[in-house]
Amino acid sequence: MPNDSQVSVEAALMPGDPGLVREAQGWLRRLASERRLSPKTVEAYARDLRQFLAFLVGHLGETPGAVGIVALKPVDLRAFLASRRAEGVESRTLMRQLAALRSFARHLSQEGYGPASAFAAIRGPRLPKTLPRPMSPAAALAMLDTGTRAGSEREAWILARDAAVLALLYGAGLRISEALGLARRDAPTGDVDAVTVTGKGAKTRSVPVIPPIRRLIEDYLAICPYGLAPDGPLFVGAKGGPLSPRIVQLATAELRGALGLPETATPHALRHSFATHLLGRGGDLRAIQELLGHASLSTTQMYTKVDAARLIAAYDAAHPRAGRA
């Protein structure tokens, strides 16, 4: 969670009159403390508001204030979105920026500046409907095999570490940030068959860890050259510091090359594969939702579409009465 000094710095960078800067500071603090958004989300929202206010300086010809923000018209918001689009910003980012601006507008309304109706009236850009692309079970398991990178110049303990991290993504459905956020004392080894992780919104959940995944973690710990403090990270980098997600992504890219997998075979694809393969084997959708840490069942339901798409593809490829005929 961002501390007060970080929030103050973010707010101080806002182009606006003192009253608006003060409201921005209160809004960011509320996002962090009451809504418990992650520090990165708060930082992104602050950046979105800062870009919007900078745009308004040129668009309106004056430094914006809180009253001026709630008085904006839909045409003003459309002009901002159009300017961002012209800069090459994608629809998903525009949707997040619009969500940030709506949140700030609601804050101003709650603080007595009046209804900011333009923010509710504007429609965001449509997002392309894309389904996650899971790997095959064989490909996912091959990524967890240290033998896949046997010809690599990496040290044995680093190969074991990478296999253990990826095993938590595929074997327990963790996000990469959740796996790298584990402390040494929380390592699921021996008879410890579950791990507590902190997910989005600082929400915690308990996830079972099956024996093959625990063995990979034990293999890594047995040859890790560093003494890991109980409160320190479970997974460390080559110099003993916290392991960076970028290192895991690079290891996955090396595995893709060794296995001939497509660019869609990413660390997050292992998490998608975990959910899709569970569902394909008759897993309960509600249980999968809890395992993944999804706040809404609708987010988990996309895996039913993935599984249906896989079945249709298999039918088209093999059935004599399929459309390919």
The residue length of the chain stands at 325
**Alpha-carbon span 220 to 159, nearest angstrom:** 8
| Burial group, residue 284, by CB count within 10 angstroms (0-12, 13-18, 19+) | exposed
Q: Is 205 helix (H, G, I), strand (E, B) or coil?
A: strand
Instruction: State the sign of the Cα–Cα–Cα–Cα dihedral 164, 166, 169, 175.
Output: positive
Strand-pairing partners, residue 111, are: none
Angstrom distance (rounded) from CA 141 to CA 309: 22
The two three-digit tokens of residue 234, written as one number: 């479970």
Catalytic (active-site) positions: 175, 200, 268, 271, 294, 303
- Residue 29 to residue 24: CA distance in whole angstroms: 9
Euclidean distance between CA atoms 325 and 318, whole angstroms: 10
